[in-house]
Amino acid sequence: MDRVRDSSASVAGEAVELVRVCRAEYRAIGRLTERLRPTRQSIRTLQTQFPHLPPSTLLSIFSQEYQKRMKRSMVRHHAPDVVKEYYQRYRSEAKTRPAAPLLLELANQVDLSPALLARLIVECFLEERQASVASRHVLNNMLREPYLIPDLLLAKHVEQCTVNDCCYGPLVDCIKHAIGLEHEDLLRDKLRERNLSFLDENQLRSKGYDKTPDIILEVPIAVDGHIVHWIESKASFGDDHSHHTYLNEQFWSYCNRFGPGLVIYWYGFISELDCQRDRGILLRDGFPSDIVTLCQGPARSRV
Amino acid sequence: MAALLESLLLGRIYESQNFPFKFSKEEFVPFVLNFLWDQSSQALTHGPTTPAKTPSTSRSRRSAQRPSLGDFMTSPPEAQPLRTAAQRPQEEWGVWWVCVRPSDGNSRCCDGGRRSRGVGRNEPVATKPSRRINPTPVSAERPNSKPKSCFTSTALSLPSSPPTRPESAGAKLTAGSPLSLQEERELLRRERSELAQQTSSPLKTTSAIRTPTKTVHRQGSKVTPDLQSPCPDPDKVTQKSELDLLAELYCTCISENLVPCVFLELFFMLQLLTSRGVSVSESLTWETDCVYFSVRVLENQLVSHLDKCTLRLLSENERVGTFSSSLRDRLAQAQDSCTAKVSVIPFQPATDNRTNFSSDRAFHTFKKQRDMFYGLLREWEDSHKEPGWDFEAALGSRVRTMVSQLTAAGSHSHFAGLFQKQLIQMCKGPCVLGSSNNAPDADLLGMLGADSLGRLKHLQQCLVQPQGLFGPCPPPSFPGHQEFFKHFLQTASCCQLNQHLKDGLCQQLLKLDEVSILAPDASPALGEETGDGDMEQQVRKQRFSTVLLTARLLAQFLSFISFLPYQTTELPSRDIQDAAITLRSKSSPVLDVCAVLRSSVHRRRTILTVHWMVEFLSMLDYAGPFLSCYRTALCLLLQIYKMVLGRGGELCYMNQLLMVAVLGWLFQIPIFPEDLFFSTDLKEEVKELEDITSSQGLDTFPLVDQQLLYTCCPYLGEFRKLLAAFVAGSTSKSGGLIRKITPTSAPVNSRSFWPCRPCAFFHNQPPSLRRTVEFVAERISSNCVKHIKSVSHHLVSFFFFLHVNPCKSIKMFSSFHIFLTLCVVGLCLCWSS
């Protein structure tokens, strides 16, 4: 986990030049991740295979791929009898060898994310104790702070799961949120550095905008020959799935209101996705260095 | 009438009183036009049969002209052209109505049919001078009749006009004998059958143009030798004096605005110029006479305001060169002379945030509507050009879902506002389709670079686009992105939305009509071009062009929505029509067109108002022109055309040209009642119009340039097509179909975005900011220019002084002064570059 945090910090600190990830390469990474578990070892394996890509990019890709995989197998794991069976297995094992990392082992055996398994088991546990379905809020709190779980042994196992899962769980959510904020902040700093006047999301919301990108530039800029009115920061890798979701829920809406804009995928994106430039959505993997402002004459821009 | 013309041509009469008959102008002009058309049409083997609008061409035929020309062209020889020049206006109505009944849809009207149509009306025979019917007089009943007998009046107030005059001028001009006629008929028959074959083959139906090459090809070996000596010789003109006289007569008709559409006549002349005879024996004499006549007319009617490409083609035309070198030189001299993209309407907190909506629900629905609307627009852009794509099938259900959501939330007015703004934003400019709408393939872009890609696309467009020749009067249409908005409204068919749109369009249209285009301090003196004229004139032109293009767009859509409920595909029968007129005469029209028109004449703003009014009236439904308010408006327009424009003088030339062009177009499109143009019951209106109160108005300022003219009247491009087709025909010896692709520069690529960056700046700012900045910029620039001019004036005198007496002057001017002056010079240079 430390490693993850380190790498993200390094990206945030300085603009790392990313090698373009084309779709073919992305597929190759995807194929490799098929067999990997969400552990640090897996990330290391990826790094040896794709040494030219930054670790944070690989982590982001891996995380997204893993989430997709989990979503696919969700139905299988969530069937009531399957859940029952997992719980029974845990219970019987806990009696025989309580010291072992039982939930992690079980997660590996059934190919499920440890954090998700922990959640299922806790849910079953609460159901059994209270004879009713536990509220979401209570459940989330228990996963976030395992000492709230009445069964100490279970609490220990749950903590092992959440700490060792680099794709799911409250810690990962927290880290992702923080990275997101960090990059938004970084973006604002860069804009201030360049003396560009802008409105951020909070200001927009208070003014009553119905859709709010991270940044609206009060004076537009041009990047690579394209005018930019708004900037959205995404601290993740832009793959097909996430990009299309974002397009429909956010980017087109921004385009429809504020004209052409820029999306920064700080951890890179599949280069083929950058095909809507003429339609007003420009993709970048970092803060653009080739900004042309209104004050600069056309002569300079043509250089 | 024929007699009059004949004696005129023979030089027998010079004064009208010498002639026993009296004709009114209204009778004579259509006669002359018909005469010319009839006489020449046999030479017109190519191009669309120019749609006629002298009284009598049946409406259905004109509309048939567009889908398939071949079908249309086969029928005329059978159609016995019937003409009468004189018609009593009050009777025309009825006749017109009966004649355009859908039953005689294909202009194949037999004699019996015609007679029976007359029955029941006052006039026993449908007396219509029919023009533009390919008129070779082939008829089983009258095998020996000559062309001239056709345009001799059949039933009217001219008893002495003989039904068949063996020696009328027509006979001379045709130089045709019964024998050659026989031959001709044979040829026509053959051609007809070939044409019929052509139309049945799907490949050829699309091309409405019969290029000369094709003709040659069809004629096969018979005409091929003709190609070796294709150029008519000016020395071989057979009827020089008569043709001169006729040309003069014709030119007078044109310049006095006695013809319905000036550009139609011009098109006709170009057709004559590029004509090629059908039959070998006669073709050369024929061509020679036609070309001579056409060149004479072109000499008088200077066409120098056509676009460069047309002028080049015309001046390079070998026939123009051989027949009139002076015209060629003048043409050569005269030669010196944007892409729609989804750009969106910005969200403005002041008008678009929650406080502007009645409920949270309405606010959030509208949020979704906006995205849905643009989603539809993008999808339309991507796919509407694909073959087999259908708006209704692809987007219909989504449009309706969207509109029903609107209805549920009651946010029609907001959406109508967005719709209207988006419409204006996308469609007010000239429409360049397909240039940058479809996002180019990234690979292709990388390979070619943006510039070459643009060129490639342009080339592709040239090759793919059917280059049909539609003549200079196409029916009203919704080009480019307008099509989306039109289909959207049709598909949505939501009365609430339409009502809100009508309100909005009407309001903005009238506001634009009133808008001040002249700068507030525009000095009234017209000749005062010396001061800050150039700059201000440029600004004025710019502003005018924006206002005009927006206004015509709004007018077209307002009219479209207003008359949508009454539109029918078929022309309704007269009874139904009458009932509809009675019914609708009680409800008030959406716009008081007459009042607007009159006021524009009084305030001398016709150049703006008439133009959008033409757009408005062009969308009328079938009954529309017979409602008193619209009929009066049409009459007013006629009046303006004949009286105000015909007289010239006060209006600037280009302003006048634009008005003549659009009015001429209106008078030729199907919806304009055919009888109206040559009817005479307009006298009362004249006085009203003459009473011009304001001495100063838009009309007197030069506001129109060539670019605006071509933007507003894209059909003027037909001239170029015609000439280009001729070039293609004359250079191909093989007789194959050649498509000449004139090298043109690709449209400015979207990547050269610098000019639009100031626009980008204003994009998300409130509109008030833009207005403020524009005002300040205008004042500053104006003052700057004044200042620099005065300084440069001093500078000139200073250098003059320097030149005369260097030593003294240098002593006089301290170095500081010189420095200062040089600074200003530098500034001047910077500014001008």
Summarised one tens digit per residue, pLDDT across range B517-531 is 765 444 444 444 444
Long-range contacts of residues B355-363, Cβ cutoff 8 Å, at least 24 apart: B355/A208, B356/B414, B357/B411, B357/B414, B358/B410, B359/B409, B361/B409, B362/B409, B362/B410, B362/B411, B362/B414, B363/A210
Query: Does the distance separating the beta carbons of B367 and A278 come in below 8 Å?
Result: no
**DSSP-assigned states of every residue in B709-737:** HHHH-GGGHHHHHHHHHHHHHHH-SS---
Nearest to A192 by CA among A175, A215, A209: A215
Position A191 confidence tier, pLDDT thresholds 50, 70, 90: very high
Long-range contacts of residues A189-192, Cβ cutoff 8 Å, at least 24 apart: A190/A287, A191/A215, A191/A217, A191/A231
Mean pLDDT taken over chain B: 64
Which residues are paired to A198 by β-bridges? A217
Position B202 confidence tier, pLDDT thresholds 50, 70, 90: very low
| Chain B nearest C-alpha distance from A210 (Å) | 7
CB A148 within 8 A of CB A141: yes
C-alpha distances (whole Å) from A137 to each of A122, A128, A144, B514, B794 are 13, 18, 11, 64, 84
Q: Which of B166-170, B271-275, B826-830 has the lowest mean pLDDT?
A: B166-170
Query: Does the distance separating the beta carbons of A208 and B354 come in below 8 Å?
Result: yes
Task: Give the pair of three-digit tokens for residue B550.
Answer: 């927006």
Is pLDDT of A237 > 60?
A: yes
Query: Does the distance separating the beta carbons of B355 and A258 come in below 8 Å?
Result: no
Is pLDDT of A113 > 80?
A: yes
| Chain B nearest C-alpha distance from A260 (Å) | 8
Average pLDDT estimate for A108-135 = 84
- Give dist(CA A105, CA B588) in Å, integer: 83
Q: Which of B144-158, B309-323, B452-466, B482-496 has the lowest mean pLDDT?
A: B144-158
Position A179 confidence tier, pLDDT thresholds 50, 70, 90: very high
Number of other CB atoms surrounding residue B587 within 10 Å? 8
Task: Give the pair of three-digit tokens for residue B71.
Answer: 């079908």
CB B540 within 8 A of CB B518: yes
User: pLDDT tens digits, residue range B437-447?
Assistant: 333 333 444 44
Phi-psi domain of A37 (left: phi exceeds 0; alpha: psi -120 through 50; beta: other): beta
Which residues are paired to A291 by β-bridges? A223
Is pLDDT of A34 > 70?
A: yes
CB B251 within 8 A of CB B300: yes
Which position has the token pair 């409800």? Answer: B587
- Give dist(CA A91, CA A152) in Å, integer: 13
- In our burial notation (b when 16+ CB lie closer than 10 A, e otherwise), range B100-110 reads beeebbebebe
CB B8 within 8 A of CB B242: no
Query: Does the distance separating the beta carbons of B367 and A210 come in below 8 Å?
Result: yes
Nearest to B593 by CA among B625, B564, B622, B550: B625
Instruction: Mark which residues 362-391 of B lie under 8 Å from A by CB.
Output: 363-364, 366-367, 370-371, 373-375, 378
Helix (H) or strand (E) holding B827: helix B815-832
Instruction: Name the residue with higher pLDDT: A194 or B213.
Output: A194
Those residues with Cβ within 8 angstroms of residue B635's Cβ, 6 or more apart along the chain or in another chain: B676, B681, B682, B685
pLDDT of residue B365: 86
Is pLDDT of B507 > 60?
A: yes
3-state secondary structure B549-582: HHHHHHHHHHHHHHHHHHCCCCCCCHHHHHHHHH
Nearest to B757 by CA among A194, A294, A225: A294
Backbone angles phi, psi at B450, to 5 degrees: -60, -35
Query: Does the distance separating the beta carbons of B757 and A227 come in below 8 Å?
Result: yes
Q: Which of B308-317, B366-375, B540-549 has the lowest mean pLDDT?
A: B308-317
Is pLDDT of B337 > 80?
A: no
DSSP state of B517: -
pLDDT of residue B430: 55
Is pLDDT of A182 > 90?
A: yes
What is the signed CA dihedral for B297, B302, B306, B309, rounded to 10 degrees? 80
Based on C-alpha coordinates, what's the Rg of chain B? 30
- Give dist(CA A278, CA B436) in Å, integer: 8
| Chain A nearest C-alpha distance from B374 (Å) | 7
Strands A215-223 and A291-292 turn out to be antiparallel
CB A26 within 8 A of CB A61: yes
Is pLDDT of B350 > 90?
A: no
Number of other CB atoms surrounding residue B646 within 10 Å? 14
Query: Does the distance separating the beta carbons of A278 and B440 come in below 8 Å?
Result: yes
Which residues are paired to A281 by β-bridges? A261
Decide: helix, strand or coil at residue B809: helix
Instruction: Name the residue with higher pLDDT: B774 or B499.
Output: B499
Is pLDDT of A302 > 60?
A: no
Helix (H) or strand (E) holding A113: none
Sign of the alpha-carbon torsion through B172, B173, B179, B185 = negative
- Give dist(CA B677, CA B541) in Å, integer: 32
Chain A residues touching B758 at Cβ < 8 A: 294
- In our burial notation (b when 16+ CB lie closer than 10 A, e otherwise), range B451-490 reads eebbbebbeeeeeeeebbbbbbbbbbebebbbbbbbbbbe
User: pLDDT tens digits, residue range B162-195?
Assistant: 333 333 333 333 333 444 555 555 655 565 555 5
Q: Give the length of chain A.
A: 303
Task: Give the pair of three-digit tokens for residue B807.
Answer: 């030593």
Q: Which residue of B has its CA nearest to A204?
A: B349
Burial of residue A39 (CB within 10 Å: 0-12, 13-18, 19+) is: middle
Instruction: Name the residue with higher pLDDT: B406 or B218.
Output: B406
* A198 CB within 8 Å of a chain B CB: no
Q: Which of A248-252, B109-113, B423-427, B808-812 has the lowest mean pLDDT?
A: B109-113
- Give dist(CA B723, CA B369) in Å, integer: 49
Average pLDDT estimate for A34-58 = 83
What is the signed CA dihedral for B75, B80, B86, B90, rounded to 10 degrees? -70
Chain B residues touching A278 at Cβ < 8 A: 341, 436, 439-440, 750
Task: Give the pair of three-digit tokens for residue A297.
Answer: 């004459």
Q: Which of A23, A203, A253, A256 to probe the B interface (max B CBs under 10 A)?
A: A256
pLDDT of residue B576: 86
| Chain B nearest C-alpha distance from A255 (Å) | 7
Position A262 confidence tier, pLDDT thresholds 50, 70, 90: very high
Nearest to B37 by CA among B292, B301, B269, B296: B269
Q: Which amino acid is at A116?
A: L
DSSP state of A248: I
Percent of chain A that is helix, strand, coil (3-state, to 5): 60, 10, 25
Which position has the token pair 């429809």? Answer: A256
| CB-nearest partner of B753 from A227, A256, A259 | A227
Q: Which of B268-277, B463-472, B582-591, B787-796 has the lowest mean pLDDT?
A: B463-472
Based on C-alpha coordinates, what's the Rg of chain A? 22
Backbone angles phi, psi at B611, to 5 degrees: -65, -50
Backbone angles phi, psi at A155, to 5 degrees: -55, -45
Task: Give the pair of three-digit tokens for residue B243.
Answer: 């043709």
- Give dist(CA B717, CA B338) in Å, integer: 17
Max distance between CA atoms of chain B, in angstroms, equals 102
Helix (H) or strand (E) holding A200: strand A198-200
ipTM beyond cut 0.85:
no
CB A71 within 8 A of CB A100: no
pTM value is 0.65
Highest mean pLDDT among B451-460, B676-685, B698-707: B698-707
Instruction: Name the residue with higher pLDDT: B49 or B657.
Output: B657
Number of H helices, E strands in chain B: 39, 0
- Give dist(CA B155, CA B150) in Å, integer: 12
CB A242 within 8 A of CB A222: no
Average pLDDT estimate for A6-29 = 62
Position B212 confidence tier, pLDDT thresholds 50, 70, 90: very low
Is pLDDT of B565 > 90?
A: no
What is the signed CA dihedral for B188, B190, B196, B200, rounded to 10 degrees? -150
Nearest to B684 by CA among B653, B739, B638, B722: B638
pLDDT of residue A301: 39
Query: Does the distance separating the beta carbons of B439 and A276 come in below 8 Å?
Result: yes
% of chain B with per-residue pLDDT over 70 = 49
- Give dist(CA B2, CA B34) in Å, integer: 11
Q: Which of B122-126, B131-135, B409-413, B577-581 has the lowest mean pLDDT?
A: B122-126
